[in-house]
Amino acid sequence: MADTKVKAASKASNSASKAKTKAPQTAEEQQVATPPQDDAAQPVAEQAKQAKTASSNGKAAKKQRAAAEPAFDKETYMKWFESMMLMRRFEEKAGQLYGQQKIKGFCHLYIGQEACVAGAVSALEKGDKFITAYRDHAHPLALGTSPNALMAELFAKETGCSKGKGGSMHMFDKEVGFVGGHGIVGGQVPLGAGLAFAEKYNKTGKLCICYMGDGAVRQGALHEAFNMAMLWKLPVIFVVENNGYAMGTSVQRTSNVTDLYTIGEAYDMPSEPVDAMQVEDVHNAVARAAERARAGEGPSFLEFKTYRYKGHSMSDPAKYRTKEEVEGYRQRDSIENVRAVILERQYATEDELQAIDDRIKAAVAESVEFAEKSPFPPAEELYQDVYVQADYPFIRE
Ligand SMILES: Cc1ncc(C[n+]2csc(CCOP(=O)(O)OP(=O)(O)O)c2C)c(N)n1
Ligand SMILES: [Mg+2]
């Protein structure tokens, strides 16, 4: 095993709400809505137990943190607060609009997982690449894509960041280093390795952070990508956002190995679990991995132990988990953790935080107006952006 292998002790458990939504329509929605019988039985008790532990672990961790020296400054905490509030308010609004059928197709919300992105953005540099699956609204928001362009994309309007042709699952914004938005589970893993290859080839000093869900680690392509990334020491940070479920199926039902970070060890890849309800922990782990990547030491694999408060997609009634389980995680909410530190250290007052929240809500409201007023793409757009341009591959001069 590599010397740099990190084996942290944290064993934050994972698991998941009740979304009242319309009846399932597509095959994916039906699969979510009707989990196999034993799905409802076995994991629920287990997950509730885990959520309870998670909640008490959270209290202990908070105490410990309060006793520790402040590791991050006011500016960082205020940025985290603002960035995570924007993700949450934007998605709360997207959820409402989906209910009103203003937004159509699929829509997977990130609510609960915000720290996974905020902590990584603060630890990385401009020019680093971000790639993820279809739960992809938060990443570009945190990187600086305007809420207008993201909301317009959700509305399938031509002013959207993917010209209205991608929708919720295919956000894309090259300017901020966000390389999608991918609907094929695990498909972005080899793409992430490829992006890192390009950075290395072009000697940019930049890296790629490649997010995936716990369901994606069972894809064969992950193992091929891990092997090549290690062999070529590519500057890539692989992240599994272990939110406990792939659609309605718990990790416990699909994997003998539930500490997913250990999968990286088979490749001698420095791998560690991270309590991703704590944005500080996310930042620190990503910063360590980035340092290795920029030093030419190659990839890392981080297991972000996190949780989605909402169902898999907007059509998921989430019957496979209990209210208690969801509540256990809400008690450890990453935004509330940051708010508590800000107030405790008097970085801002309640009123000042409320003013930030009001400003964010106004920006989100404006994005809805922008999206509503924007036109749909013209029919000719169907034939645009179908093939890449002739000078592919892009990494050559
Ligand atoms: C190759 C492939 N198989 C199946 C699906 C259907 N599908 C969509 S999302 C999903 C679950 C993935 O869960 P996970 O990777 O844990 O991500 P999360 O939704 O929890 O963020 C599945 C099976 C797909 N999109 N692609
Ligand atoms: Mg998952």
* 52-70: pLDDT as tens digits: 444 444 445 445 544 444 4
- 135 CA from centroid of ligand 2 (Å): 10
Atom of ligand 1 nearest to the CA of 187: 1
Residue 22 has pLDDT above 80, yes or no: no
From residue 129, alpha-carbon distances to 69, 143, 161, 350 in Å are 32, 10, 16, 35
State if residue 139 touches ligand 1 by the CB under 6 angstroms criterion: no
Instruction: Give pLDDT tens digits for 153-184.
Output: 999 999 999 999 999 999 999 999 999 999 99
- 241 CA from centroid of ligand 2 (Å): 7
Among 240, 247, 258, 329, name the best residue to mutate to test ligand 1's pocket (greatest count of ligand atoms within 8 A of Cβ): 247
Instruction: Give pLDDT tens digits for 262-313.
Output: 999 999 999 999 999 999 999 999 999 999 999 999 999 999 999 999 999 9
Q: What average pLDDT does this structure show over 198-227?
A: 97
- 136 CA from centroid of ligand 1 (Å): 13
* Domain architecture of the chain: domains with CATH: 72-375 (3.40.50.970)
User: Which residues, at least 6 apart from 82, have a Cβ–Cβ distance to it below 8 Å?
Assistant: 356, 360
**pLDDT at 40 (0 to 100):** 36
State if residue 246 touches ligand 1 by the CB under 6 angstroms criterion: yes
Percentage of the chain modeled with pLDDT above 90: 76
Give the ligand at the shortest distance from the Cα of 15. Answer: 2
- 363 CA from centroid of ligand 2 (Å): 30
| Identity of the highest mean pLDDT range in 38-42, 315-319, 328-332, 389-393 | 328-332
Residue 8 has pLDDT above 90, yes or no: no
Residues within 5 Å of ion ligand 2, judged at the Cβ atom: 213-214, 243, 246
State if residue 28 touches ligand 1 by the CB under 6 angstroms criterion: yes
**pLDDT at 383 (0 to 100):** 85
**pLDDT at 385 (0 to 100):** 83
- 245 CA from centroid of ligand 1 (Å): 9
Give the whole-angstrom CA distance, residue 82 versus residue 101: 28
Could you tell me which of 191, 236, 190, 244 has the C-alpha nearest to residue 213?
Answer: 244
Of 42-51, 110-119, 269-278, the least confident: 42-51
State if residue 270 touches ligand 1 by the CB under 6 angstroms criterion: no
Provide the 8-state DSSP code for 250: E
**pLDDT at 36 (0 to 100):** 36
- 244 CA from centroid of ligand 2 (Å): 6
Percentage of the chain modeled with pLDDT above 70: 80
Among 111, 185, 254, name the best residue to mutate to test ligand 1's pocket (greatest count of ligand atoms within 8 A of Cβ): 185
Burial of 228 (0-12, 13-18, 19+ CB in 10 A): middle
Q: Is 147 helix (H, G, I), strand (E, B) or coil?
A: helix
Could you tell me which of 292, 285, 314 has the C-alpha nearest to residue 122?
Answer: 285
For residue 38, name the pLDDT band (cuts at 50, 70, 90): very low
State if residue 216 touches ligand 1 by the CB under 6 angstroms criterion: yes
Q: Is 301 helix (H, G, I), strand (E, B) or coil?
A: strand
Q: What average pLDDT does this structure show over 202-229?
A: 97
For residue 386, name the pLDDT band (cuts at 50, 70, 90): confident
Instruction: Give pLDDT tens digits for 308-355.
Output: 999 999 888 888 999 999 999 999 999 999 999 999 999 999 999 999
Instruction: Give pLDDT tens digits for 237-247.
Output: 999 999 999 99
| Cis bond upstream, residue 393 (ω within 30) | yes
For residue 45, name the pLDDT band (cuts at 50, 70, 90): very low
Residue 33 has pLDDT above 60, yes or no: no
Give the whole-angstrom CA distance, residue 147 versus residue 337: 24
> Between 17 and 295, where is the model more confident?
295
State if residue 245 touches ligand 1 by the CB under 6 angstroms criterion: yes
Residue 224 has pLDDT above 80, yes or no: yes
State if residue 70 touches ligand 1 by the CB under 6 angstroms criterion: no
Q: Which two tokens stand for residue 239?
A: 């992240």
The whole-chain average pLDDT of the chain stands at: 86
Provide the 8-state DSSP code for 331: T
State if residue 240 touches ligand 1 by the CB under 6 angstroms criterion: no
State if residue 217 touches ligand 1 by the CB under 6 angstroms criterion: no
Bridge partners of 242, per DSSP, are 305
State if residue 247 touches ligand 1 by the CB under 6 angstroms criterion: yes
User: Other C-beta atoms within 10 Å of 311: how many?
Assistant: 26
**pLDDT at 384 (0 to 100):** 85
- 359 CA from centroid of ligand 1 (Å): 34
Atom of ligand 1 nearest to the CA of 216: 15
For residue 23, name the pLDDT band (cuts at 50, 70, 90): very low
Q: Name the closest-CA residue to atom 5, ligand 1.
A: 185
State if residue 44 touches ligand 1 by the CB under 6 angstroms criterion: no
**pLDDT at 387 (0 to 100):** 72
**pLDDT at 297 (0 to 100):** 98
**pLDDT at 60 (0 to 100):** 53
Give the ligand at the shortest distance from the Cα of 135. Answer: 1
For residue 392, name the pLDDT band (cuts at 50, 70, 90): low
Atom of ligand 1 nearest to the CA of 212: 15
For residue 382, name the pLDDT band (cuts at 50, 70, 90): confident
Instruction: Give pLDDT tens digits for 115-163.
Output: 999 999 999 999 999 999 999 999 999 999 999 999 999 999 999 999 9
**pLDDT at 271 (0 to 100):** 98
